[in-house]
Chain A
Amino acid sequence: MSEIDDSAVQKVASLARLHLEPEEREAVRQDLVRVLDHVQSLASVDVEGVEPLNNPHELSNALREDTTSAPLATDDVLDLAPATHDAWIAVPKVLGEGS
């Protein structure tokens, strides 16, 4: 059985920037335990000497000329933002008092 307690759920939720209500956390914990128990089967495979494979065809970086092209229009991009102020995207205050 995977050992995931409530504090581990809170930690992973915080890393993932997800807000979980206290009453949701136990169900989430059980889901994670359920899936992680299934993937425990990976521990039985002998991977000694095997290199990780990130990409199926082991592609290398694709380079291109550094050229200019037309960007998206500012208004089109600002239209997508949930809150704007003049030509800016509005966000809550980031720096606290006195910082």
Chain B
Amino acid sequence: MKTARDISQHVNSGGSAVEVVRDALNRIQADASNAFRETFEESALAAAADLDRRIAGGEPGGPLAGVPVAIKDNICTTQGRTSCGSKMLEDYCSPFDATVVTRLQEAGAVVVGKVNCDEFAMGSSTETCHFGPVKNPADPTRVPGGSSGGSAAAVAAGLVPVALGSDTGGSIRQPAAFCGVTGFKPSYGQVSRWGLVAFASSLDQIGPFTMDSADAALVFGVLRGGDPKDGTCDPAPAKPCQVEPADLKGMRIGIPTQATTDGNAESVSNMMQQVRKHLVGAGAELVDIDLSLLDQGISTYYVIATAEASSNLARFDGIRYGHRANAPGAGPDDLMALSRSEGFGTEVRRRILLGTYVLSAGYYDAYYNRALKIRRMIRDEYLKAFASCDVLLSPTTPSTAFELGGITDPVEMYLCDRYTVGANIAGIPGISIPFGQDEQSLPLGLQLLAAPFADESLLNTAAGIESLRDRAGIWGARNA
């Protein structure tokens, strides 16, 4: 599969967008990973034909001309359904497009369909999806990670070069690592969330899955920029983002001491040793960073995220839209409770209950307010770290992709996010890039984090490490 920038160049110089899009639709049709919830064949081909006509007429095609993209099922599109992987919204058709979808289309991209995710983006394996689990293209007996598992699998399987996902605690970076593609979560406030179905509003961020950092930068340049419809979005105007691979010589790369100790699979520890060796060889300066609160991240995250979710998901009441229980004679309260219990799956109900509990009278201070205080301490620990290093490097996940059905304990599942939740708690940018494979040929992911709004330098550093990886002959998605 070609990169997005190759496709855009091809289409902008007269190549057929219709052909590119038809090829993508054919690949999707033959796919067995369950990545796609639905495709928009007719509208995608019409958009591609329109683009071809405009380019033939001398108009510019845009920076993503003819690039087929897939959209996570929790991002609103007027085409098809926006179901959030849930029975609650199984037939929900959004009356508006998310800002990110409009921006992609204005840049010439062609939305070819929606991709599956964990229900309301709650999960680390895409197994909580009401429309069936997604399989990892690297090994169909394993999970693709989650919650944006369909987005990661769609790029990893070579169906589309770009997919959008959302990342509340690692939901872009963790599946990118499990599937062997690049997943980028921008700084909180860099990309509008208008039209993203809210899970935890102080943590959610939209970002791209791509084959490499240069494509991630290209898409990020299209997505970012102020949006009056999202008050948390930095009002700075949109501007393109072009990656320039960083010279690693003299760069200060921080490695949290807590990320190299126990708890990692052997293959993940080996990857970290390899990375260190290659970075030192390239002249980078490795700095030990003490993130003493790293292991409080999961607890802090699950208190804040579930509290916000319990509030955000209160809107699904079976009254105005979404699933309504068939309960003749039930009063309004019973109808709401029955509709919500039928519409939500086990994990979503669990998180709503937990969030309601930590916000309830008598527990608010012990759980929610305490978590918010620790959130400040964690954020400050990251800010302090970036005073002594340019980027922080760790594994994205403590292990490679696990087997479908392999984790049933909720806490064990939550611990998959050990290295990723910190970026959401602190609002900083993070990226996962493929860096080798384990002994079973499962992809390994390397995570890089940077200071708030240092998104461009993060992408440049990631591109620099990709070059190093490729020169060393280490496996990365671009080789696939």
A94: B residues at CB distance < 8 A: 331-332
Question: What's the least CB distance linking B259 to chain A, in Å?
Answer: 18
Contact digits for B358-377, partner A, Cβ 8 Å, 1 yes 0 no: 00100000110111111111
Residues of A near B324 (CB, < 8 A) are 82-83
Q: Are A77 and B95 in contact (CB under 8 A)?
A: yes
Instruction: State how many angstroms separate the Cβ of B366 from the closest Cβ of chain A.
Output: 7
Residues of A close to B337: CB separation below 8 A: 13-14, 17-19
Interchain nearest-CB distance for B275 vs A (Å): 27
A22, chain B: closest CB distance, angstroms: 13
- B370's nearest neighbour on chain A, judged by CB, is A42
- Chain B residues in 8 Å Cβ range of A28: 349-350, 353
Chain B residue nearest to A9 in the complex (CB): B353
B334 to chain A, nearest CB (A): 7
- Tell me if B283 is interfacial: C-beta within 8 Å of chain A: no
Residues of A within 8 A of B475 (CB): none
A31-B425 Cα distance, complex, nearest whole Å: 24
The answer to whether A17 touches B353 (Cβ under 8 A) is no
Q: Is the CB of A18 within 8 A of B96?
A: no
User: Per-position contact with A for B413-427: 1 when CB-CB < 8 Å, else 0?
Assistant: 010000000000111
Does A87 belong to the interface (CB within 8 Å)?
Answer: no
CA distance A24 to B358 in the complex (A): 21
On B, residues with C-beta under 8 Å from A are: 92-93, 95-96, 188-189, 202, 228, 231-232, 235, 293, 295-296, 298-300, 302-303, 310, 314, 317-324, 329-338, 340-341, 344, 349-350, 352-354, 356-357, 360, 366-367, 369-377, 379, 409-411, 414, 425-428, 452
How many residues of chain A get a CB closer than 8 Å to chain B's CBs?
Answer: 53
> What residue in chain B is nearest A62 (Cβ atoms)?
B231
Of B93, B202, B352, the residue contacting A80 (CB under 8 A) is B93
> CB < 8 Å: which of A4, A38, A72, A76 contacts B299?
A38
A92 touches B331 (CB 8 A): yes
Q: Which of chain A's residues have a CB closer than 8 A to the CB of B329? A: 92
| A9–B125 CA distance with the chains assembled, in angstroms | 27
Note all chain A residues with C-beta closer than 8 A to B338. 19
- The residue in chain A whose Cβ has the minimal distance to the Cβ of B89 is A80
- Tell me whether B373 and A59 are in contact (CB under 8 A): no
Residues of A within 8 A of B373 (CB): 47, 50-53
Given A12-B360, A39-B302, A56-B427 contact (CB < 8 Å): yes
Of A18, A47, A54, the contact of B370 (CB 8 Å cutoff): A47
- Contacts A32-B357, A34-B410, A93-B331 given; indicate if A45 touches B293 (C-beta within 8 A): yes
Q: Are A18 and B299 in contact (CB under 8 A)?
A: no
**A76–B320 Cα gap in the complex (Å)?**
12
4 additional A-B residue pairs with CB within 8 Å, beyond A11-B360, A12-B356, A92-B329 = A12-B357, A42-B371, A57-B427, A82-B318
Within 8 Å of chain B (Cβ to Cβ): is A55? Answer: yes
- A-B contact list, 21 entries, CB within 8 Å: A9-B353, A12-B356, A17-B333, A18-B337, A19-B341, A32-B350, A34-B409, A41-B295, A52-B376, A53-B372, A53-B375, A56-B425, A56-B428, A57-B427, A57-B452, A62-B231, A80-B95, A80-B320, A81-B320, A82-B322, A92-B329
